[in-house]
Amino acid sequence: MVNWIILEQEYASLAIVSEVAGGIYLWEWAITVYFDWRMFSSFGKGEWRWTTILYLISRYTTLDAIICIFVFLNLKNEFNCEALIRICAAFGTFALFSSYVLNSIRMYVDEIKFYNISSERSSSIAIWKRKLLIVVLVSLTILANAGILIWVTIDHMGAVWSPLLGGCLITKTSTDKVQINFAFACEFLLAVLMLIDIWLQKGSGRLWQLIYHQGLTWLLIALTFYVPVVVLTWLNLSDAMNMMLQVPLCIAMSICATRMHRGLYEYAHPDEVI
């Protein structure tokens, strides 16, 4: 028998956690939208790299996911819960995927050449020097994540309207195990590979220090936000508990990836954004 009092408390907690996390992202977006505007305004005037598109996709799919979640949690009249939760899941998963790809490019490129950093300011850093094994490994993880994205969009969690709660009940969240565990494994592996090679190069310039600190931050954030989500999905206490920390996870990884990208661009071009 369903304990509606506990269920209501869990969904109230889920709403609070998700909305607080969403509010943090809206604040982050507001204080950094200058960067987006300068890139939009430079379109057609300067050099736009494909990472610019990834950066914007990561930013705005996360923003779309937050808006959809706010709508999902606050509508009090009966509506199509199934359709809305699928839209939320699609935007959220795509935001995680684009953030992962945005970080993955560091395994493919030399930051000096790719970000047009003056050779007078920094020595060359090419993580793992684009070794074939590393490139293939990272490419496979990207393709696998893309496959999971498609699967999540087509056959993921569901939701049904509950008159007793006056809102939607999320269902089938136990299927998140595969997605969350694989995404965590990929993030952890990539961050560790990045840190190992940066440490082996042992540079002393500002660029080396910047990339090393970014890699360390990336690893710590991935561990901090992924581990609790992995634990909750494996415990499978309830659908609400399974979802409790997934919105903060998505937001944290998006902020991390976009801030790392923005940091490199602003280091390379202190007076303008390409």
For 63, what's the count of Cα atoms within 13 Å in the CB-facing half-sphere?
Answer: 14
pLDDT digits (tens, 9 = 90+) for 102-139: 888 766 554 444 455 444 444 444 565 667 777 788 88
Answer whether residue 157 shows pLDDT above 50: yes
Does a structural domain hold residue 274?
Answer: no
Q: How many domains does the chain have?
A: 1
Amino acid at 59: R
Counting every residue written for the chain, the total comes to 274
Query: What 3 state SS string does the chain have?
Result: CCCHHHHHHHHHHHHHHHHHHHHHHHHHHHHHHHHHHHHHHCCCCCCCCHHHHHHHHHHHHHHHHHHHHHHHHHCCCCCCHHHHHHHHHHHHHHHHHHHHHHHHHHHCCEHHHHCCCCCCCCCCCEHHHHCHHHHHHHHHHHHHHHHHHHHHHHCCCEEEEECCCCEEEEECHHHHHHHHHHHHHHHHHHHHHHHHHHHHHCCCCHHHHHHHHHHHHHHHHHHHHHHHHHHHHHHCCCHHHHHCCHHHHHHHHHHHHHHHHHHHHHHHCCCCCC
Residues 94 and 65: their CA atoms lie apart, in Å, by: 9
Answer whether residue 140 shows pLDDT above 80: yes
Distance in angstroms between the alpha carbons of the first and the last residue of the chain: 59
Q: How far is CA 31 from the centre of its chain?
A: 18
Does a structural domain hold residue 42?
Answer: yes
Tell me what the pLDDT averaged over the chain comes to. Answer: 79
pLDDT digits (tens, 9 = 90+) for 45-66: 655 677 788 889 999 999 999 9
Residues 56 and 258: their CA atoms lie apart, in Å, by: 9
Instruction: Tell me which of 80 and 121 has the higher pLDDT.
Output: 80
Residue (of 71, 66, 93, 67) closest to 159 by Cα position: 71
**pLDDT at position 35, please?**
87
Answer whether residue 75 shows pLDDT above 90: no
Does a structural domain hold residue 219?
Answer: yes
**pLDDT at position 250, please?**
92
**pLDDT at position 256, please?**
92
pLDDT digits (tens, 9 = 90+) for 170-224: 877 776 777 788 888 888 888 888 778 777 766 656 777 777 888 888 889 999 9
pLDDT average, residue stretch 133-157: 78
Neighbouring residues of 78: CB distance < 8 A, sequence distance ≥ 6: 161, 163
Does a structural domain hold residue 258?
Answer: yes
Answer whether residue 150 shows pLDDT above 80: no
Question: For the chain, what percent of residues have pLDDT higher than 90?
Answer: 20
Give me the CATH number covering residue 167. Answer: 1.20.1070.10
pLDDT digits (tens, 9 = 90+) for 27-50: 999 999 988 888 787 766 655 677
pLDDT average, residue stretch 13-38: 91
Does a structural domain hold residue 139?
Answer: yes
pLDDT average, residue stretch 13-25: 92
**pLDDT at position 129, please?**
64
**pLDDT at position 66, please?**
94
**pLDDT at position 29, please?**
94
Residues 7 and 43: their CA atoms lie apart, in Å, by: 49
**pLDDT at position 48, please?**
63
**pLDDT at position 258, please?**
92
**pLDDT at position 274, please?**
46
Answer whether residue 80 shows pLDDT above 50: yes
Does a structural domain hold residue 273?
Answer: no
**pLDDT at position 187, please?**
84
Neighbouring residues of 237: CB distance < 8 A, sequence distance ≥ 6: none
Domain span at 97? 4-268
Does a structural domain hold residue 189?
Answer: yes
Does a structural domain hold residue 64?
Answer: yes
